[in-house]
Amino acid sequence: MSLSSATRPDLTLRPALPADAADLARIYTQGIEDRTSTFETKPRTAEDILTWFDGQHPIQVAERDGQVIAFASTSSYRARECYAGIAEFSVYVERSARGSGAGRTVLLSLIEAARTAGYWKLLSRVFPENIASLRLLGSCGFREVGRYEKHGQLDGLWRDVVIVERLV
């Protein structure tokens, strides 16, 4: 699956910039509020997001009409040197743009950016109830490799997660 197969005339794809931090915080906070995508519970600020810009972990955005509507980001997997080519990833889409293909497009862009940055594998964990995300990931070549039971608590309830990976 190449980036060219994901090109959409209504979207502009590009690397995220520190100036996008407020938009990324807004979109990520929507995911936090929805309680369907992350164990996080505290809304994020632009200052929180600025720490993601470390020069090593690609972050891609999708814009429509000059407005950031989706992002896909990578972060460290583990500190041990043997895992240096593996990154965790996340994809978040503005509520009003969900189901529009923006998530798929920005994820495919992130895969290319991760490959260019020297990563050989991307992985993540997804709530099993988040069927839309699992379908998106499957359509982008990610495979389910297992499930962590009672992986973390969200609002006092233990939640399982599905582990997904893709070699890039």
**CATH number, domain at 104?**
3.40.630.30
Under-50 pLDDT residues of the chain: 1-5
Which residue has 């995911």 as its token pair?
Answer: 31
User: Is the CB of residue 166 less than 8 Å from the CB of residue 121?
Assistant: yes
Nearest to 38 by CA among 109, 121, 108, 130: 130
Q: How large is the angle between the packed helices 131-139 and 102-116, nearest 10 degrees?
A: 50
Q: What is the pLDDT of residue 2?
A: 41
How many domains is the chain built from?
1
- What domain range is 101 assigned to? 3-167
Report yes or no on whether pTM surpasses 0.85: yes
Instruction: Round to whole Å and give the CA distance between 85 and 87.
Output: 7
Q: What is the pLDDT of residue 7?
A: 60
Q: What is the pLDDT of residue 54?
A: 96
3-state secondary structure of 127: coil
